[in-house]
């Protein structure tokens, strides 16, 4: 189990151990409670505690909680769930060697390979467009300062371009594909998709998710999808 340093976390863990109180959603308390449960070999309860403290914000503590949750799921033999938690931990700890080894171990056991790059490129383009929109907005503002003798039309054109880039980035981020792990099997024409498959998904208006790269009839219920970035 990962246990980050810091007297605050240690104090919280001591108080929880003495009082026997549940984590209650607080990440530091959830980590302490999960560690206490794990040391008692109560792996199911430890997993529940770690998951309860995970917020999905990508913080360092989130990375520790997700890693520990993945380790619990792996010990329980729930490989698809372990893969989901390790992928979530990867957001906060992309170069962690232990995490890299555990991801490789779970993927080999599932017979899977990492998620396909097109969706990742889409998400990257969304972030670049948003950043470009903000940068261009500052350029447009600078052009309006008195020391710059430029036509108002040029500043307006740059401002319009900034708004367009920012809006496109936000739209791509909101409507683009989401990285996910199938924590449950999905039915599909010609054969189903097993749990543990790493996929990119689009939400559909009728409910559930559509898996990219599959037939348009391929739908997965919400319970079968574990988003890597909630």
For 15-30, write each residue's pLDDT tens digit. Answer: 333 233 333 458 999 9
pLDDT of residue 23: 38
When the pLDDT of each residue in the chain is averaged and rounded to a whole number, the result is 77
In DSSP terms, 182 is beta-bridged to 225
pLDDT band (50, 70, 90) for residue 187: confident
Considering only residues 189 and 119, tell me which one the structure prediction assigns the higher pLDDT.
Answer: 189
| Cα–Cα dist 115/228, whole Å | 11
The pTM of the whole model exceeds 0.75 = no
pLDDT band (50, 70, 90) for residue 95: confident
DSSP code at position 191: S
Which stretch, 92-101, 165-174, 207-216, has highest mean pLDDT?
Answer: 92-101
pLDDT of residue 83: 96
Is the separation of the CB atoms in 114 and 104 below 8 Å?
A: no
104: left (phi over 0), alpha (psi -120 to 50) or beta: alpha
For the cut 70, the answer to whether the pLDDT of residue 89 exceeds it is yes
Give φ, ψ of 182 to 5 degrees: -75, 110
Domain ranges of the chain: 7-110, 117-175, 178-227
In DSSP terms, 209 is beta-bridged to 203, 220
Query: Superfamily for 7-110?
Result: Tetratricopeptide repeat domain (1.25.40.10)
Question: Percent of the chain having pLDDT more than 70?
Answer: 66
pLDDT of residue 24: 42
Give the helix/strand (H/E) hosting 121.
helix 117-143
In DSSP terms, 220 is beta-bridged to 209
């Amino acid at each position: 189990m990962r246990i980050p340093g810091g007297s605050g976390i240690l104090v919280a863990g001591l108080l929880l151990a003495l009082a026997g109180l549940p984590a209650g959603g607080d990440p530091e308390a959830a980590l302490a409670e999960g560690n206490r449960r794990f040391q008692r070999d109560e792996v199911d309860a430890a997993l529940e505690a770690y998951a309860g403290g995970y917020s999905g914000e990508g913080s360092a503590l989130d990375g520790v909680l997700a890693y520990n949750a993945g380790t619990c799921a792996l010990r329980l033999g729930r490989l698809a769930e372990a893969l989901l938690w390790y992928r979530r931990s990867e957001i906060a700890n992309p170069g962690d060697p232990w995490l890299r080894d555990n991801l490789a171990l779970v993927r080999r056991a599932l017979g899977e390979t990492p998620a396909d790059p097109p969706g990742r490129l889409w998400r990257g383009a969304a972030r670049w467009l948003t950043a470009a929109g903000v940068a261009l907005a500052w350029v447009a503002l600078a052009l309006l300062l008195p020391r710059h003798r430029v036509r108002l039309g040029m500043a307006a054109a740059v401002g319009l371009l900034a708004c367009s880039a920012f809006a496109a980035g936000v739209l791509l981020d909101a409507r683009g594909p989401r990285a996910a792990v199938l924590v449950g099997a999905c039915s599909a024409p010609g054969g189903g998709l097993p749990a543990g498959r790493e996929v990119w998904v689009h939400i559909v208006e009728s409910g559930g998710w559509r898996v990219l790269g599959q037939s348009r009839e391929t739908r997965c219920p919400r319970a079968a999808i574990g988003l890597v970035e909630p």
